[in-house]
Structure 1
Amino acid sequence: MDSILHATADNPVPENHVAGFLEGRGGVKIRYAVFRSKERQAKGTVVLLQGRSECIEKYFETINDLTARGLWVATFDWRGQAGSDRLITGSRAGHVARFADYEADLSLFLERIVLPDARLPFFIVAHSTGALVALSQAPLLENRIERMVLAAPFVALAGQSMSQRKIAIIARLASLTGLGNRTFRKGDPSLDFANNVVTSDARRFARNAAIYAEHPELSISWPSARWLNETIATMARVTHQDHLTRIRIPTLLLCPTADILVPRKAIGDLARIFRAARLIEIDGARHELFQEADRFRAQTLAAIEAFIPGSDAEETGLGA
């Protein structure tokens, strides 16, 4: 049994991988894994960036999809969640002190794990908060990353009892008054499929719920006020024209049109002023495109396969 990655009955650990821990900014332990394709000719490496509260295990199916297409996959858990170090002692809140810490961890992962050990060229495939990190860091990644795919990028927040503006004000006040570690809600997010808003696929929802039920150490609760303050401030910065003009990495934006967490309009507005990007809408899909029903996942994977080129990939043996 792999002591770093965790299998469940219907979610086995993909073969041909290495896993370990990387020391991130401030000495925080970051869990990572690199999965190799069985294809002799590697088409490159996808750096897979998760969303808030997710874990490597949740992406085993997608990792298998990508490696079957001749791509390697390198991924890690964000600080404060899943198999990486928690940041608040005795609390299950999703927390980060500074959004820049996420960016620093991504840079270290690329420098210490991906660049030395993975196969060129390098691509980013990112979901939600991971896509926000990629957007923020993108002006500095031009010489490393060939193309980016951003699925349901977390550039606005909806579907809450308060508006984004009110949440931003309260989160900022809490952060300024020493209450940044607190959450706005009590208890844990529901694991009830009937009340979920992120996927229409009951089987994948149950599979993911089983991961956290069998390995509760991978789960976290609601985001802290500090996390919200840092994230909302980053949303405002990366959706500004000045920032987007500095991004020259060809980018594909995937917008699930039935997403109530990230408004369709916000992603459409981003696409209109983001010159390096083009937009594909997945009609009827909810927020978690990689956990959605087959008809939506198939469109998502087809769009990725069409966008990520393999013409200049290296030829490699598995042991190289």
Structure 2
Amino acid sequence: MSWTLTSENHLGETYANHINPFWKEAVETGEFKGKHDVSVHYAWCQPPKTHTHVVISSGRIESLLKYKELMYDFYNNGFAVYILDHRGQGLSGRMTSDPQHGYVADFDDYVDDLLYFCDVIVADKTTEPLHLLCHSMGGAIGTLALLKAPNRFASAVLCSPMFGVRPALPGWLAKCLIYLSLKLQKIGQRESGYFFGQTPYLAYPYAINTLTHSESRYRLFRDLYDDFREIQLGGVTTHWLRAAIEAMNEIERRAHEVKTPILLFSASGDKIIDNRRQLAVARQFAHADVRKIADAYHELFAEADEFRVPVLQQIMSFLQKQGANRKSV
């Protein structure tokens, strides 16, 4: 089946005339208290004739506001979409005194927020099977959710999942640097702090970006973060990095336990993710269809049309098929 998707050509006009009106008219928002009373913001939309229900787990620094185009595409093709801003980023609550900190105490906090969102918020809006759509850090969170609640999702799509990061430091060096950074923070009586080399939010020019080949989508992303400064996020803290390493190690150790049908996209031009480790983990999944996207950068949902369109066509077909299979059982 061929799905109708937006184009990067005249995308600014598409936002003004179609996507932003869709957001105002069809998308509803809310918030709930996640673990340790952290406020978690979410959005959702259901088209009049919904055939599949999709939960999105987004990447680091991202906000649901960045997913307007993707949600518009899914909605127009009959998919209901539910998305939350992970704690510590987007419109959700922060956990340190510096809102720029990329911080989390433990990835289990992300996972528990996601499962609560599905079990309470989304369950109040539909009783149909849920399908998981993840990007980057959201892929690590989503995979941990598949391990913790094996029956929660009928299928999962993992795009550029964060099972390893670049540069991949030797384990002993990462451990030493994390120990040193935490020690310095304790001496300085700071609750948290950036890991070595990390800084507050920086908007790199398109010419040196390694996220997407689409200049129009990249500029819209940066304009959004300029207009909504509250969603800006800086680099990772030492606490986040320690938690991420523990999470990625757990995923690698337990990947064979994941029985959920998975479609995984690996962007071969990815400068963010360690694709060798990503693919090594993927090979352990019981039911995974791994597809490599030649030359694509990290952000497949915001890539140039030559990459984004075929990826989304495959994702939508997979999710619809999995949804139909689940209903026929």
TM-score (norm 1): 0.88
For the Cα contact (< 8 Å) 2:192–2:237, is it kept in 1? yes
Shift in Å at residue 236 of structure 1? 1.0
Aligned partners of 1:62 and 1:222: how far apart in 2?
25
Which residue of structure 1 lines up, in the alignment, with residue 58 of structure 2?
50
* Correspondence 1:133-148 to 2 at 5 A: 133-148=141-156
Aligned equivalents of 2:69, 2:243: Cα separation in 1: 31
Query: Displacement, 1:103?
Result: 0.9
- Once the two structures are superposed, what CA deviation does each residue of 1:186-235 show, in whole Å capped at 9, x if it has no partner? 34333311121111110000000011101101111111110011001111
CA RMSD of aligned residues (A): 2.1
1:21-43 CA distance string (max 9 Å, x none): 111001111000111124x2x21
Residue 18 of structure 1 corresponds to which residue in structure 2? 28
1:85 to 2:93 alignment = yes
**CA separation in 1, counterparts of 2:203 and 2:116?**
34
Equivalences, count:
302
Counting only pairs closer than 5 Å after superposition, residues 115-194 of structure 1 correspond to structure 2 as 115-118=123-126, 120-159=128-167, 166-175=173-182, 178=186, 181-183=192-194, 184=196, 185-194=198-207
> Is it true that 1:112 corresponds to 2:120 in the alignment?
yes
Of 60, 64, 71, 2:68 maps to: 60
Alignment map for 1:150-299 (pairs within 5 Å)? 150-159=158-167, 166-175=173-182, 178=186, 181-183=192-194, 184=196, 185-240=198-253, 243-299=254-310
Shift of 1:307: 1.4
Rounded to whole Å, the distance in 2 between the matches of 1:36 and 1:165 is 48
Counterpart-to-counterpart distance in 1, 2:161 and 2:104: 18
Contact 1:172 1:229 (8 Å CA) reproduced: no
Cα-to-partner distance string for 1:252-271 (whole Å, 9 max, x where unaligned): 11101100111222222122
The answer (yes or no) to whether the contact 1:282–1:299 under 8 Å persists in 2 is no
**Which sections of structure 1, spanning at least 5 residues, go unmatched?**
1-7, 315-320
Matched to 2:128, the amino acid is: L
What SS is found at the alignment partner of 1:239? helix
Change (3 A) 1:95 1:171: same
Q: Which moved more, 1:130-139 or 1:9-18?
A: 9-18
Correspondence for 2:6: none
What SS does the corresponding residue of 1:97 show, helix, strand or coil? coil
- State the TM-score, normalizing by the size of structure 2: 0.86
- Does 1:31 pair with 2:44? no
Percent of pairs with identical residues: 26
Q: Relative to structure 1, is the Cα distance of residues 101 and 187 closer, same or farther in structure 2, using a 3 angstrom cutoff?
A: closer
Work out the CA distance in 2 between the residues paired with 1:248 and 1:313. 15
**1:191 partner letter:** Y
The separation in 2 between residues aligned to 1:163 and 1:139, in whole angstroms, is 26
Q: Greater helix share, 1 or 2?
A: 2
The one-letter code of the counterpart of 2:65 is E
Alpha-carbon distance in 2 for matches of 1:249, 1:293: 30
Q: Secondary structure at the match of 1:307?
A: helix
The runs of 4+ residues in structure 1 deviating greater than 6 Å are none
On the 8 A contact 2:100/2:200 being kept in 1, the answer is no
Distance 1:187 1:142, change over 3 A: closer
Unaligned runs of 5+ in 2: 1-14
Contact 1:44 1:119 in 2 (8 A): no
SS at match of 2:324: coil
Whole-Å Cα distance in 2 between the matches of residues 285 and 252 of structure 1?
A: 17
Residues 61, 172 of structure 1: alpha-carbon distance in 2 compared, 3 angstrom cutoff: farther
Is the aligned partner of 1:306 residue 2:313? no
SS of aligned partner of 1:273? coil
- Residue 4 (structure 1) aligns with: none
Q: CA deviation at 1:116?
A: 1.7
Task: Evaluate the alpha carbon distance shift between residue 164 and residue 77 of structure 1 in structure 2; reply closer, same or farther with a 3 A threshold.
Answer: farther
Look up the equivalent residue of 1:289 and give its one-letter code: L
Taking a change above 3 Å as real, the CA distance of residues 163 and 59 of structure 1, as seen in their structure-2 partners, is farther
Measured at CA, do residues 135 and 176 of structure 1 come closer, stay the same or move farther in structure 2, by a change above 3 Å?
A: farther
